A and B are shown apart, each in its own frame.
Chain A
């Protein structure tokens, strides 16, 4: 009996285009932020003060955001005995991904969604809503959880927090910059007028940096979503299961009453499908890519898998 060889390369090709776009976006952000730092140093001491304050805020954000989110969102950790199927799926995916098991949480909410939190792989938390557990079949749920675990693998919370750090600095300057420059300098004559002018320049630079980085960050966030969809397909070998899950979730999302959606709006960056009734924002500003594009990307992966691409 002869063994027929079915040898092929890896089932999924590379997506160098996506990686190139991601790196280019990050490059633009870095350039932008260097401009901002330059402006801050030009202002002098008060500019550096803002930077230090912002660094403190960053640390607070990195170390407490998941706990705050868990506290305010009604998310609670579940044991394997309470949710055996959810734990089972995550454990197997962790074996596949060679990942330490994250904390597993359930949010008692009918809106179907899932999200990942935590700054590192060791401190990660994966959360699913009650609604998604009821809505999806095991294979679809596996696809969604693999998407969230890919966020953990790619350290997306860390990447996005760091990437948005200087955008936060810029927004601080725009909002409170006048306190440092104009506000304090009342009685110092000519020197303070120069400081005032420098501060106005810095505020103007910060406003521009903030506006551009806002769009770049949204773009980066969308790219990371595509990467997570792709990672999910690679991890489970079932791109179409995730596509089916996205269809099911989005179909339900639009029928969910507006009040429920508003109450969870703040978490939308981490959700698998953003919590909005309708896509009222322009595509450029959306932090999740449109459903059609995600489905198309998954369809390409399925074709690669089936060998028809």
Chain B
């Protein structure tokens, strides 16, 4: 933000950064083969749902598009609002055939139709769910404003996270996934519905 913007208090919400969403489609291979972290077959995109008729129409269209494009893998779509007023559009592969590629394509279809409708700045993040060998959930979160990924590993207890595990994952995937360099922007998402 420039000096003039600061002086005039003019502030625009940033649109999405250059898209690095598809980095997950190569990184998950490493996760699976080297670290026994398997995709859970679920991903979600989180955004602010504007309470306007044209935005609702955009969302309806999106759902239809995702259902249509996910035809072969039979991706299911569900939406829900969380307690913060953000909308989660959850894409789920049928059990037994988790495909990160299909999910990434579906998520990308949703984000690009929101952008095409002129609401790109409403996108918050995407979340891809994984599970380690013991079945503990591991999430990879993609921040649209920054164009970076970061891991999020909830730990036992109320609102606890395993920072150690997250830092290990950062080291393990540093060559594969563009990681958020500023650790203070590794914002947790509590109560992830996937």
Which residues in A have some Cβ–Cβ distance to B below 8 Å?
1, 3-11, 14, 18-19, 22-23, 26, 80-81, 84-85, 88-89, 91-92, 94-98, 100-101, 138-139, 142, 150, 153-156, 159, 223-224, 227-228, 231, 234-238, 305-307
Q: Which residue of A lies closest to B157 (CB)?
A: A81
Q: Which residue of B lies closest to A234 (CB)?
A: B13
- Do A8 and B118 have beta carbons less than 8 Å apart? yes
B1 within 8 A of A: yes
- Do A95 and B187 have beta carbons less than 8 Å apart? yes
B48 within 8 A of A: yes
Alpha-carbon distance A81/B1, docked complex (angstroms): 33
> Which segment of B35-43, B51-59, B90-98, B162-170 sits at the interface?
B51-59
Known: A10-B118, A19-B8, A153-B11. A138 touches B83 (CB 8 A): yes
- Do B50 and A237 have beta carbons less than 8 Å apart? yes
Which residues in B have some Cβ–Cβ distance to A below 8 Å?
1, 6-14, 48, 50-55, 57-58, 61, 64-65, 68, 83-86, 113, 116-119, 121-122, 124-125, 143, 145-146, 158-159, 182, 184-185, 187-188, 190
Q: Given B1, B54, B187, which contacts A92 in the complex, CB threshold below 8 Å?
A: B187
- Do B184 and A95 have beta carbons less than 8 Å apart? no
Known: A7-B117, A138-B85. A101 touches B54 (CB 8 A): no
Alpha-carbon distance A231/B12, docked complex (angstroms): 8
Q: How far is the CB of B127 from chain A (nearest CB, A)?
A: 12
- Do B184 and A100 have beta carbons less than 8 Å apart? yes
Complex contacts, A92 vs chain B, CB 8 Å: 84, 86, 124, 187
Q: How far is the CB of A143 from chain B (nearest CB, A)?
A: 10
Complex contacts, B6 vs chain A, CB 8 Å: 154-155, 159
Alpha-carbon distance A234/B57, docked complex (angstroms): 20
* Beyond known contacts A3-B113, A80-B159, A96-B48: 6 more, CB 8 A cutoff: A10-B121, A92-B187, A98-B145, A100-B182, A153-B1, A154-B11
Q: Given A9, A85, A234, A235, which contacts B118 in the complex, CB threshold below 8 Å?
A: A9
